[in-house]
Amino acid sequence: MAKNDALPLTELTRDDLSLLPPRPQNGHKGTFGRVLIVGGSLCMSGAGYLSAKAALRAGCGLCEICCPLENRVIYQTQLPEALLTCYTREEPTKGLPDALARADAVAFGMGLSQGEVTKKLLFAVLTGCGRPLVLDADGLNVLASEKPLFDLLRRYPAPVVLTPHMGEMSRLTGLSIAELKSDPLTYAAALAEKTGAVTVLKSDKTVVTDGKSATRNVFGNSGMATAGSGDVLAGITAAFLARGMNAYDAARCAVLAHALAGDAAKETRGENGMIASDIIDGLCTVLP
């Protein structure tokens, strides 16, 4: 693949957070958008929790988690601010259509695993949602292994943000990680053009592109290379979409806010001691 020298590339600056929508003083929780998190399978509830809490810290007015029934008590205890729609393995999409209809944006895939339940959930989202969508983690892994789902993605009627790390990007494209690292911008732009989705290719210098423009992140630190960090980014991105931002601006502002929050966490926790929830706490100090 030829290097894409024609694609405009800028670097994120702190001033880019000015793109966030203003918060009117007479607003209410509905004003600031409702996020649906479809994530957190049995024994992996942390992913859904981190995404949902990040979405709330990023300013959405309401957050609902669609999760296995076994996780209900966990989420009600950990995050009482979140609403819940619970499903069973036998009926994984029960309640999902109503939850999708209530949402202003959806984040899908964090900690879901790659089994039949996830495939059924993703099919239901891609065929029955029509809301701005963030696909992350196991949502991307299932997408890579199921061509019919990939075809549905290309026909999806609303904005989509894909958030692969290098391993997930390798599965999506069939390219080696070494190839991807040699020119992440070109390969991210190619995926964006192929799918029509904004692509966030995560690394130490994350690239965000819609295939026409591109932005590179220059903030963050090694402490952010910790379990759950990507779940936090997915939740922030969904919150910005729910607040009415277009997909490209929501994605690049989410990457920026996530990185700056990680730098804020570094000041209090250090790079060795940082965990994903510290990044969420950092949002409170970096968002206007």
Q: Taking Cα atoms as reference points, which of 167, 227, 166, 226 lies closest to residue 44?
A: 227
pLDDT in tens, 219-271: 999 999 999 999 999 999 999 999 999 999 999 999 999 999 999 999 999 99
Q: Return the axis-axis angle of helices 138-145 and 116-128, rounded to nearest 10°.
A: 90
Residues 6+ apart with CB under 8 A from 45: 67, 71, 74, 75, 78, 111
Spell out the domains of the chain, with CATH numbers in brackets: 30-161+219-283 (3.40.1190.20)
pLDDT in tens, 124-173: 999 998 999 999 999 999 999 999 999 999 999 999 999 999 999 999 99
159 token code pair: 């904005």
In the β-sheet with 133-135, what is the strand arrangement from edge to edge? 9-11, 214-216, 207-209, 198-201, 160-162, 133-135, 105-108, 34-38, 62-68, 83-87
- CA dist 70 and 189 (Å) reads 39
pLDDT in tens, 180-201: 999 999 999 999 999 999 999 9
Nearest 5 degrees, angle CA 162-CA 278-CA 254? 30
CB 280 within 8 A of CB 69: no
Q: What is the mean pLDDT of residues 70-95?
A: 96
Residues 6+ apart with CB under 8 A from 161: 132, 133, 134, 135, 197, 198, 199, 200, 237, 241, 247, 250, 251
Specify which residues 165 forms β-bridges with: 202
Q: How confident is the model at residue 12 (pLDDT cuts 50, 70, 90)?
A: very high
- CA dist 45 and 40 (Å) reads 4
Enter the pTM of the model: 0.97
- CA dist 201 and 15 (Å) reads 22
